[in-house]
Amino acid sequence: MIHLNSWDLVWAALLVLGLAATSRRMGLGLTRSILVSAARTLVQLGLIGLVLKSLFAVQNPFWVALVALGMLGAASHEVWARQKRPFVGLWGLGIGAGAMFISSFTVTFFALVVILQNDPWWEPQYAIPMVGMLLGNTMNGVSLGINHVTFAAFKEKGQIEARLLLGQTAAQAIGGVKREAVRVGLTPIINTMAAAGLVSLPGMMTGQILAGGDPLEAAKYQVLIIFMIAAGSGFGILASVHFTGQRLFDERDRLRPDRLKPARFG
């Protein structure tokens, strides 16, 4: 394995700075976002590297669970921050957090216990990276799904209420919106599965190959991860879209757009 030093990272950072300078010159308004995101990447990955190094040495299930819950909290905040019309109150965070907890943690537990059969099953070397990959990808799908339902429900308020007046239930009135939201949320992972190995080498496989691992073994691990991500994202999207649809109506099947905050951007 080729070890990187600080200067190697400096050269890579210069490319990002060049991108930021180009953005500024073109007046795209993205310079600050590029620089802040790059700085966050450097700080966050550096800190998580130190945390994982200590976590691997301690081998304590309590700390593994604490780190996993911390990652869930961060993912939930990102889902909430990407919503154009989030729910008022804790529901804005709760739906995304609940859906990701149900899907990502369940799929990770299944993979660790049934497929990998590691002893102990919660060993941080396997548990934390898998939870991270599941949450990162599920977060994107859940965010797209929730955002589509809330925005479409507000935009198509008149149509939905007309269906309700014609005698449809809340589930029937918003059923088309929910189905489209699931399709929107699933599109990224479907594209990833379709292009894996043909257009791109996914991150985990690339990392194992760069570390000197056997390419065939790396491919098998990558297939496992992609299938886990697909299942976790799919079930997470289904759960989040279902709960979002329910929250948009009250117990008398009345559409409640007042439960959504005003549009925050775009």
DSSP labels for 177-236? HHHHHHHHHHHHHHHHHHHBTTTB--HHHHHHHHTT--HHHHHHHHHHHHHHHHHHHHHH
**Alpha-carbon distance values, 208 to 27, 77, 220, 222 (Å):** 39, 30, 11, 10
* Average pLDDT score over residue span 146-175: 91
* d(C-alpha 53, C-alpha 58), whole Å: 9
What pLDDT was estimated at residue 205?
A: 76
Q: How far apart are CA 19 and CA 24, in angstroms?
A: 9
CA angle 131/133/134 to nearest 5° reads: 65
pLDDT exceeds cutoff 60 at 17: yes
- pLDDT tens across 56-100, in order? 888 889 999 999 999 999 999 999 988 888 898 889 899 999 999
Q: How confident is the model at residue 1 (pLDDT cuts 50, 70, 90)?
A: low
Q: What's the confidence (pLDDT) of residue 34?
A: 93
- Residue 266 confidence (pLDDT): 55
Q: How far apart are the first and last CA of the chain?
A: 45
Higher pLDDT, 200 or 37: 37
User: According to the model, what pLDDT value does residue 257 have?
Assistant: 83
pLDDT for residue 51:
85
